[in-house]
Amino acid sequence: MPPEEYQDPGQDAAVERARGGVRAWVRSAGLRATRTTPYTVLALLVAAAVAPVAAVTLGAGAAYTALLGQLGAIGAGHFGALLSETANRVRRRTPQPTVEQWRDAVAEALGPVLAADDERARALRAEVSQVLRHVDAVAVAFAESSEDSQELRQQLAAAVSVLGVEVDELRWMVRDAVAALDGLQEDVAVQNSVHREQVDLTRRVFVAVTQLRQEVLRGPVAALPEASPPATAATTPPDPLAASPFPGLASFQPEDEEWFFGRETPTAELLARLAEQLTGGGPLIVTGASGVGKSSLVRAGLLPAVARGGLPAAGSGAWPWLLMTPGARPMTELAARTAALAGVSAVDALRQLRDAPDAYGALAAQAGIVDDDRARLVVVIDQFEELFTLCADPAEREMFATALASAGPALVVLAVRSDFFPQCTRLRPLLPALAAGPFVVSPLGMDDLRDAVVRPAERAGLELEAGLVELLLADLGARDGGYPSGAVPLLAHALRSTWLRRAGHRLTIEGYRAAGGVRNAVADTAERIYVSLDGGDQARLRAGLLGLVAIVDGAGAVRRRGPRSSMTPAVLDRLVQARLVTADENTVEISHEALLSAWPRLANWVEEDRQAIVTRQRLAEAAYYWVESNEDGDVLYRGARLAAAQDWAAGRADVGEVEQRFLVASERAAEVVLATERRRGRRLRRLVAGLAAALVVALGAGGFAVEQRAEAQRRADDALSRQYAAESLVSAEGDQARAMGLALDAWRTSHTPEARGALLSAQMMSFTGRLGSQPGGIAVALSSDGSRAAVGHGDGTVRLWDGADHRTMRELTGHGKQVTSLAFAPDDSMLATAALERDGVRVWAADTGQLIRVLPAVGFATWLPDGRLAAFGFSAAEKPVIKLLDARTGATAAELPVGDIVSDLAVSPDGRYLAAGLPTGGTIRVWRLSDGARVIDLHLDQGEFAIPLAFSPPGRWPPRGWTATSGSGGCPTARRCAPCTGSTVARSGRWRTPRTDTCWPPAAAATWPRGTRAPACR
């Protein structure tokens, strides 16, 4: 700029101009270079602050030095000299440079000098440090970048972190950055509480700032590859054989933070939401579906982040925290745990809180004070749904909610399953927190799922076999863009089971499949434990697990904590070692509710004992009310409720002491009432004795007959049920679909032990289903390797199916009539389709579905081993013939006169013979293909038709030479015919495969692929 444009704006104006330059640089995304270092960032930051001030005086020496002095008295130092040299160089190239050109030139000249390790570089760093600190450049840059790109924020944070450690003159930068970010977080929190209508936008900014602050505190990040972290003591790599990095069904705990991956963004978002409570507000409610990972997020994500000082408050890393679950006595647990931290009597604290639960904030404040009067207690209530599943007293639920809602200045987090959200809305003290909006934990995305699998393994020094991660994600269902949220615990257990079956330091696909995969790993682990126990321990395992289950209206079966004594040590140790249950010193609980549905046997037990479980729950609730009401006699059980409770408790060792006292008191009260009723009833019995005797005789005779009839029917049902169950087990090896149906029939007929066993066995079968869900298939063909199936339909459509996952691969259209014949080429490269229409044979590329050729043939076609196609059609003289065609060119190699239309075609596996079924007269005509000579006509019985027709493979059943024909009875007739003479050697009225008694096919069949049974269209 010309010197005459210079006007002295004063020191304040110069500082504001410098800050404006920093803001402009940040807004222009000045770090988008392909390669940056901490010193590059420093040079750009300094140049951005200096350029707006120095550029207006470019060429005026005295004014130039004066303005630099206003930015930190640097006009006469190394920095001033460097700027002068750069100004001269820039003026030679560009007489009137822009501010941006001047800024870039200064940064280019400054970067290498700052990165050097000599006296001049140290002096220069001291001078630029003075400039940056004078204009508060670091705070301005972070404040302006809070709404910019994530890449820019990460690079700024990493540069400040590295420079603050490596350069003594720049250590203030970390302190200023953290202070600036703290102030920014507090401002955003205040704004969020005042302007609720902007809560979404405000929280996004807040999360960004929190992530930025975490990056600053954590140290160098991957965005700066040249950055060297500060020297640290050498660490020993983790031993991959020492402990599993995967928790199984159990949730991650705070001490498992090193294995917790895939939730970095939700952790930062949750930390930002918690920081809002620093300025006031009720509890933060964390919710999500069962199995989505709420417990792991608050335990291994949030609490370690708080312990690292993640909250924008001085000393927050040393704040105490309280982690608990409500249990059956939530107020007792909360008072005892908080009183222990506060150093006061738990009994006195509980008594005071029962009288005034809204006074909990004072107790929590006392518990938060450690060495700093400004410290706060962090309260995390996990599995908040236990307030409704285990606590039977509505009044205590209300007190517990009141105490938590009044916990300020403590910070409170409640983690609750989303299906218990309606129950939470009935707790009035929590309504403000609910209205403020819960933090919803969503299922992991594909990238996060991959991180959750790969990064713990890498951290543990494990290697994953190629393809294992993709197989895990495919079995989970994540490839389709969505998967059941409850499947994540199953994935964690499958990973742990795979780790137990590892090959050295390598997790293998073989080990994963041996564990049962995502769907069956839990069931496989539990079933192995069960079958390894003797009969007595099996019964104790069943009773112990059912004691850890509760039935909740609207939520079904859920887990509950029970006494450790409810299981024998041997059984408990096996379950704990497998991570199926979690135990502490006094209690035990199922590790995750996924076990209740993933293990069919346990699910069956729960269904069978549902009423007993409900009886136990109601007994526990009634006993609790009885104790709370000072053992009021009106609360005791009577009549049917007492009888049901007595039946349940008879012979059980897991009945609690309070429940036993309640039953004894109920029995005594019932005996008193019974004695009174007996005295009253004696008089009535004398009056009706005679009538009763006569009535008994009459009813006895009728009742005996009815009972005998009912008993006979029960016996018949039991026998039929056992028959169905036996047939199911016999059919399981060859026809699993039929075996499943028979198992259901057995159970519906009568609930016999055999039927129950058949049902449990059926659940472990591998049958996956049929192709498609609608009828209409007319013809079917399989590729030689069984990987693909083609089905022709009545509307002319042909659908290709994947033989592995039973999904539609593609749909072929073009036929105007129903498809009557399909055949894959011998090498599976092409597919021939035939319909009853002129030019009705089409040849397609099997892999792409592209149409190759339309052939002049009608209705039926089959392949010869040499790749030619045999198809029915008409000669030039309109005579019925069988044409031997080149599938790609359409050229006719030969024509075999047939004299009639055909109903099916078949070629022998060795390519020597061609057979055609003729509907007129039920004839099968056979030609020798080497010379086209007609060998024999096979005449069927009256009413039999040659549909379908097939040669069997060599060495397969039926033996060579058999042909199949559909008889009038609807079930195929099998004949063994000599290939050349046509004599019928043997025949069977029902054609059965070796491993099933199913008569097939009612509509159509295909020739045999290698080693498989022929499929049928139904």
- Which pLDDT score, from 0 to 100, does residue 336 have? 93
Query: Which one, of 533, 550, 556, 705, lies nearest residue 612 by Cα?
Result: 550
What gap in Å lies between CA 988 and CA 975, rounded to an integer?
Answer: 7
Does pLDDT of 508 surpass 60?
A: yes
Does pLDDT of 502 surpass 70?
A: yes
Greater confidence (496 vs 955) lies with 496
Q: What are phi and psi of 544, to 5 degrees?
A: -65, -45
What gap in Å lies between CA 8 and CA 87, rounded to an integer?
Answer: 20
Query: Which one, of 165, 185, 186, 187, lies nearest residue 174 by Cα?
Result: 165
Confidence of residue 439 (pLDDT cuts 50, 70, 90): very high
DSSP secondary structure letter of residue 430: G
Does pLDDT of 785 surpass 90?
A: no
What gap in Å lies between CA 261 and CA 272, rounded to an integer?
Answer: 19
- Which pLDDT score, from 0 to 100, does residue 961 have? 41
Confidence of residue 851 (pLDDT cuts 50, 70, 90): very high
Q: What is the pLDDT of residues 24-67, one digit of tens each?
A: 888 776 555 445 788 888 888 888 888 777 664 554 444 445 55
Could you list the beta-strand ranges (E) of 847-1000.
851-855, 861-863, 869-874, 880-885, 892-897, 904-907, 913-918, 923-928, 933-939, 962-966, 972-977, 984-988
- Which pLDDT score, from 0 to 100, does residue 10 have? 55
Greater confidence (331 vs 991) lies with 331
Could you list the beta-strand ranges (E) of 783-932.
788-793, 798-802, 808-812, 819-824, 830-835, 841-845, 851-855, 861-863, 869-874, 880-885, 892-897, 904-907, 913-918, 923-928
- Which pLDDT score, from 0 to 100, does residue 843 have? 93
Confidence of residue 359 (pLDDT cuts 50, 70, 90): very high
The amino acid at residue 136 is: D
Confidence of residue 400 (pLDDT cuts 50, 70, 90): very high
Q: What percent of the chain has pLDDT over 90?
A: 12
- Which pLDDT score, from 0 to 100, does residue 217 have? 59
- Of 384-388, 486-490, 903-907, the least confident: 486-490
* Structure tokens that stand for 600 in this block: 């069919």
Q: What is the pLDDT of residues 291-304, one digit of tens each?
A: 888 999 999 999 99
What gap in Å lies between CA 295 and CA 301, rounded to an integer?
Answer: 9
Confidence of residue 762 (pLDDT cuts 50, 70, 90): confident
Phi and psi based region of residue 842 (left: phi greater than 0; alpha: psi -120 to 50; beta: remaining):
beta
The CB-side HSE value for 574 (13 A sphere, CA atoms) comes to 19
Confidence of residue 573 (pLDDT cuts 50, 70, 90): confident
Greater confidence (997 vs 51) lies with 51
Structural domains in the chain, CATH included, are 9-189 (no CATH), 263-443 (3.40.50.300), 519-635 (no CATH), 777-953 (2.130.10.10)
Does pLDDT of 1018 surpass 60?
A: no
Number of alpha helices (DSSP H) and beta strands (DSSP E) in the chain = 34, 33
The average confidence (pLDDT) of the chain is 78
Name the most confidently modeled range: 159-163, 639-643, 732-736, 798-802. 798-802
* Structure tokens that stand for 951 in this block: 């040669």
- Which pLDDT score, from 0 to 100, does residue 74 have? 44
- Of 210-214, 335-339, 973-977, the least confident: 973-977
- Which pLDDT score, from 0 to 100, does residue 482 have? 63
* Structure tokens that stand for 221 in this block: 């990040």
Across 795-810, average pLDDT = 86
Confidence of residue 380 (pLDDT cuts 50, 70, 90): very high
Tell me the C-alpha to C-alpha distance, in Å, between residue 767 and each of 158, 525, 738, 854. Answer: 55, 22, 10, 38
Residue 781 pairs in a beta bridge with 790
Contacts of 774 (CB under 8 A, 6+ apart): none
Does pLDDT of 1005 surpass 70?
A: no
Does pLDDT of 284 surpass 90?
A: yes
Across 825-849, average pLDDT = 90
CA 877 remoteness from chain centre: 66
Does pLDDT of 91 surpass 60?
A: yes
Residue 942, SS3 per DSSP: coil
- Which pLDDT score, from 0 to 100, does residue 203 have? 59
Confidence of residue 355 (pLDDT cuts 50, 70, 90): very high
Greater confidence (717 vs 241) lies with 717
Q: What percent of the chain has pLDDT over 70?
A: 79
Tell me the C-alpha to C-alpha distance, in Å, between residue 152 and each of 156, 218, 611. Answer: 6, 17, 61
Across 453-458, average pLDDT = 90
DSSP secondary structure letter of residue 503: B
Residue 532 pairs in a beta bridge with none
Query: Which one, of 866, 900, 909, 908, lies nearest residue 882 by Cα?
Result: 900
- Which pLDDT score, from 0 to 100, does residue 241 have? 55
Greater confidence (856 vs 985) lies with 856
Q: What is the pLDDT of residues 604-624, one digit of tens each?
A: 888 888 877 787 778 877 777
Confidence of residue 316 (pLDDT cuts 50, 70, 90): confident
Across 178-192, average pLDDT = 69
Q: What are phi and psi of 572, to 5 degrees?
A: -60, -40
What gap in Å lies between CA 1009 and CA 1002, rounded to an integer?
Answer: 20
Other CB atoms within a 10 A radius of the CB of residue 647 amount to 11
Does pLDDT of 212 surpass 90?
A: no
Angle at 942 between CA 940 and CA 943, to 5 degrees: 100
Q: What is the pLDDT of residues 921-942, one digit of tens each?
A: 678 889 998 888 888 888 887 7
Greater confidence (966 vs 605) lies with 605
Name the most confidently modeled range: 294-298, 760-764, 993-997. 294-298
- Which pLDDT score, from 0 to 100, does residue 844 have? 93
Q: What is the pLDDT of residues 697-753, one digit of tens each?
A: 777 777 777 888 888 888 888 889 888 888 888 877 777 778 888 888 989 988 888
- Which pLDDT score, from 0 to 100, does residue 998 have? 34
Does pLDDT of 227 surpass 50?
A: no
- Of 184-193, 421-430, 437-446, 620-629, the least confident: 184-193
Contacts of 42 (CB under 8 A, 6+ apart): 111, 114, 128, 159, 163, 170
What gap in Å lies between CA 738 and CA 79, rounded to an integer?
Answer: 88
